[in-house]
Each structure stands twice: as structure tokens, then as C-alpha cells.
Amino acid sequence: MLSFVQVLTSGIAIGCVYGLVALSFVLIYKATAAVSFMQGEVLMVGGFTVLALNVGLGLPLLPAILCGVVLVATLGAGLERSVLRRALGQPHLTAVLLTFGLGLIMRGAVTTVPAASHGMHRLALPFGDEPLRLGALAIAPQHLLVIVATVAVAGALSLFFRHTRAGLALRACSENPQGAALVGIPVAAMHTLAWGLGAALAAIAGVLLAPITFVHLGMGLIALKAFPAAVLGGMTSLPGALLAGIFIGVAEALAGLLLPEGGKDVVPYALLMAALLLFPGGLGTALRQLRR
Amino acid sequence: MKAVHAVLALPAALRNSAAAVLGIATVLAALGVDYALAQLAMIATFAIAGLGVVIIVGQAGQISLGQGALLALGAYVQALLVRHGVPALLALPLAVLAGMAGGWLASLPAQRLGGLYFAMSTLAFALIVEEVLVRWSTLTGGAAGLLVPPPSLFGWSVESAAAQAVFSLACLALAWLACHRLLDASLGRAWRAVREDEGAAAASAIDPLRAKRSAFLCGGALSGLAGALYAHWIGFLSPEQFGLLLSFELLMLAFIGGVRTLAGAWWGALVIVAIPQAIAVLRDLLPAAVAHTAGLEAMLFGVVLVAMILLRPQGLCGPSPGR
């Protein structure tokens, strides 16, 4: 029972990271109708940027994280201004290939830095990694940190989308770009904002992932598991994406407990296939239909 | 000076072929004949896989993010059969069949899904295939890999670079002819109709589902063939060769060459195989600190892909948009 709870918390924690990356996919997809295949690479760049600021420049952890996330958000916004804007109105494959190409460039650029490409790096937590003991239950602090930070980010996003002019404008843009333009919302600027926010979310996911899997070149692969989360959440629902991410994280963790070795890695993709075939509108739509 | 004038006075066709011969001679001199021939075999093999992308993506207009898995099926079937003593020429049709079966499987979700969601299902298909190849290690050797002997045709072993090049070029020629005939037939017209407008195609008595499925069957067959050849030329198979990166590399190949034309597959394959060679040449010119990392190749691939999509979206040999 105890090990079950511990597996559950680690599943929820990794699921939060999936959820954050899925959130960035969905945010970009809703606002610009582009599927971004570079979120994993952005996540990796985010991890390395914070690492470089923290270890390389000697900034304390919190300012390093803030600066890193802002830098990566600027990178995302800059890429939208220069390159990704050209994919607007084109077939889906154009955006897919463009973002994949940009991802390759980012990955290549990080690989050429010798210090980055050799081995794994640690981002030290301020409170160490002594497990938290609640009776006989031991919970890793990095898992708790991920969960708390995800809740905070989700809360901040929800406030942003409900109570700020920019957030409301972005939502209007996602609902109906023509209508938004007619009432005076600068649609092009909103697209830049969406890509910037998407990059920032991926970078935050990268920072949160750093204490769990370390910072290394392959950490972007986690984005492949965020895809199923985005689809399971319905591709257009932000809370859906986050919840589906946690669902996949937990399902994966439980599969690791119950299924033979290797079953764990197939679970997200099998879930993706099942979700596509059974509820292409996402789990939320499926539940709503059931209730009716 | 006189010689320059003499060259300029030649008719354009002659001048172009002279330039081509000169170019080929330079490549041969720079790389060595055997090496260049081995690269030619690789180009032909990638071009066959590229033809599959041209049919699925360029002609039928479906996004396939799982081409690598189709190649993997062909490669593993060929490798396992040849290792168990089946003659290569007999194994080859079976590898093609395996690719076709994979294409059929990958096209099944098209019954319920369209557009982007269908593309996601091909991605899931490819990731599941890769995982199965890793885990079914009693058959595939798992992540440790599998050695593949060179093919033998009627007792003659295809081992030298020249034989490899001739064999792959022959396969490419056959595949090309088949594709050429298909594109002119009613099947090809059905693909293009579905690409332009599924509703209109259905209204003209074309079953979009059948058209998509046949495109995946043909694309799968070509990928199976390419995979089988690839298995022999590389001589070693492991699942990670056929991951998402290969799927995207093939998409890139088709888009660089021109995704709507058969010739695009050839030119794209040429570029894809040439980029690592260009890196090898550049490496001597660059400062040592930058030159010794693998990152350059990924960066150059990315730059070429982004530049092509932005500047020449129809590909190297696609028609200009004005026409």
C-alpha cells in the first residue's frame, strides 16, 4: 500500500511535467492552429539555460529560473516573429516541419557546446533531496516541488486568462481570429504572445524535470509523451491537457508496477491510439456525452 | 581565354551535361570510387523510401509521421529471413509485403480520423512499432541489434560497392516505373482528387478511404523495399535507427526535393546523403573546438529544412508557383 502511494506521487509528479508540456502544445495550437514539434527541444534549452545561469554565471537559483524562463520565452516569441509566422494559413505539415527543423537547430546548437553534450547535469535544489517522511511514507521533495509548482503555474495561467486584457484577448483570438481582429485585438501580436507563453511553459517544465531526470540532451524526448496528453485532453482544452498529462503519468507509473518490463513505455502511445480511435474529441467531450 | 569562349559557345544542353560530368568526376576524385558508389547505393535506397513519401504525402495529401516504422518492418523481415537461410531475392518480396501490411495497419485509423488526428495516429503507430522491436528481443535482438549478411543473387554475393549501387539503382528504376504508371492511372488521379478536396472526390464517386488505404499500401511497399535494401547496405539493424528521426528525415527528403513529383525523391535523397559529406569536408576548415561535435550535422539539417520550407516550399524540382 505504501509503495503504491509512493508510485502514485511520482506518477503525479511526472504527469505534471507531461501536463505542462501538453499545455504549451495546446496553447499554441489553439491560438495559431500550428502543431509544434519543438516543445521538447525548447524544454531542453530551458533546462540548459537555467543551468548555465545558475552554475555558469553563479546566479542564485530563483533569479536564474526567472531569467531563464524569460529568455526562453523571448526565444519563442522571436522565432514566431521571424520564422513561424510564415506557417500561418499553410497546411499543418508546414508548421510541423518548420518546428521540427527549428528543434533540430536548437538541439544541434546545444550539442556543439562541449560542456553541455557530455553527460548529465544536476540542478541543485535549495533544500536538498532528503525524502520527506510522513510516518512510514517517504516522498521525494522534488516530486512535491513539481506538484506544487504546477498547481501554482496553473493558477497563474487561469488568472491570466480570466482577468487580464492580454489573456482575454488571447482567448478571443483562439475562438475566432477574424472576430477578434474586428473588435481591435492585434491578432499578430497575440500569436507572438502565444508562442512566447508556450516556450515559457516548456522551459518551466524543463526546470521542474531537472531535479528528477537531470539536465541532458535527450530530456526533450519527454515531449513525445505530452502529445498523447494533449490529444487525450481534446487538443483545445487547457485544463484538459493538464489533467490528461497527470492521468498519463499515473497510468504509466501504475503500468510500471503491474505490467512486465517495457509495458510502461508503450502505455502513453497505446492510450494515444485508444483515445484517437474511441474519443477523438478528448476525454472531456466523451464524459459530457455520457452525461447527456 | 580561348578555351573559356569555346565553352560558352557550346549549346546549353551540352554545357550542362559537361558540367554534370565534371561534377561527378570531382566527387569521384574527392571521395574515391568505391566510397562514392556506396553513397550512390544509399542515395538510391533513400530515393525509394522517398517515393513512398511522395505517394502518401505529396499525392494523396495525408500526413504520415510513421514512415520510419514501415522501413523498419521491411528491414527486419528481410534481415531475419536472410539470416535463416532464405535467398535474398525470395525474401525481398516478403519484405515488401511486410511494408505493405504495415502501411495497411497504419491506414486503419483513417476510417474514423482525418487530417491532424490521423497524422497523430501514424505517430503513435510508429512509436509502438519501435517499442515492440526493442522489447521483442528474442526475435529482433532488441537494442543490441542484429547483423545482416550481404544479399546473394543466384550464388553471386552483392558485396562490392559497385554491385550494391547497381542493385539499388535497378530496384529504384523498377519502383520508379511502377510509381510513374500508378500516377497516370485512375488510382493516381483518385489520390490527387482526395488531396485537393475529399468531399468533391467523394461526390465524384471516388472513395476517399480506399484512396488513402491504397496510398498507404503503395507507400508501405516502397518503404518495405527501401528498408530491406538499407538492412543489407548498413549490415546492422537496431530499433533506434528507425525512430522518429528517420520518419522526419524522410519527410524532409521529400520536401527538399519536391514532395509532389517523383523526381523530388531522387534530388531529396541526394541532398540528405550529401549533407553529412559536406559536414565532413567543412570539418577540416572549421576551428577544432566546434568541428568535433555531432551537433553541426543536426544544425545543418535543420537550417536546410527551414530554409527550404520558407524560400522554396515546392522543393528543388517542383514547379514554380507562378506556373
Q: Smallest Cβ distance to B255: which of A92, A97, A273?
A: A97
pLDDT band, very low/low/confident/very high, at B323 (cuts 50, 70, 90): very low
Q: Which residues of B touch A270 (CB under 8 A)?
A: 124, 128
Q: Check residue B127 and give left, alpha or beta (phi > 0: left; psi -120 to 50: alpha).
A: alpha
Question: Cα–Cα distances in Å, from A256 out to A6, A242, A261, A272, B249?
Answer: 13, 21, 7, 18, 32
Domain limits, chain B: 32-243
Q: What is the pLDDT of residues B242-298, one digit of tens each?
A: 888 899 999 999 988 888 888 889 999 998 888 888 777 777 777 665 555 677 888
Helix or strand run (H / E) with residue A272: helix A263-278
Q: Which three cell numbers stand for residue B60?
A: 494523396
pLDDT band, very low/low/confident/very high, at B316 (cuts 50, 70, 90): confident
Q: What is the pLDDT of residues B30-39, one digit of tens each?
A: 667 888 888 8
The ipTM of this complex is 0.85
Q: In angstroms, what separates the C-alpha of A35 from chain B's closest C-alpha? A: 9
Can you tell me the distance from the alpha carbon of B250 to that of B46, in angstroms, rounded to the nearest whole number?
Answer: 8
Which region among A246-250, A258-262, B146-150 has the lowest average model confidence (pLDDT)?
A258-262
Q: In angstroms, what separates the C-alpha of B118 from chain A's closest C-alpha? A: 8
Q: Smallest Cβ distance to B306: which of A101, A111, A270?
A: A101
Mean pLDDT for B95-123 is 88
Helices (DSSP H) in chain B: which residue ranges? 2-9, 12-31, 33-53, 67-83, 88-107, 115-135, 137-140, 161-184, 186-196, 198-203, 208-234, 244-257, 262-285, 288-291, 295-311
Mean pLDDT for A131-138 is 73
CB interface of B with A, residues 48-67, below 8 Å: 57, 63, 65
pLDDT band, very low/low/confident/very high, at B45 (cuts 50, 70, 90): very high
Q: What is the chain B residue with the closest CA to A85? A: B310
Q: What is the chain B residue with the closest CA to A105? A: B299
Number of Cβ pairs closer than 8 Å across A and B?
124
Q: In angstroms, what separates the C-alpha of A237 from chain B's closest C-alpha? A: 15
Do B296 and A108 lie within an 8 Å CB cutoff? yes
Q: Smallest Cβ distance to A111: which of B124, B294, B300?
A: B294
Can you tell me the distance from the alpha carbon of A48 to that of B258, in angstroms, rounded to the nearest whole number?
Answer: 36
Q: Which three cell numbers stand for residue A84?
A: 513561424
* B289 close to A (CB below 8 A): yes
* B279 close to A (CB below 8 A): no
DSSP B293: S
Q: What is the secondary structure of B197-234 as a DSSP string?
A: -HHHHHHTT--HHHHHHHHHHHHHHHHHHHHHHHHHHH
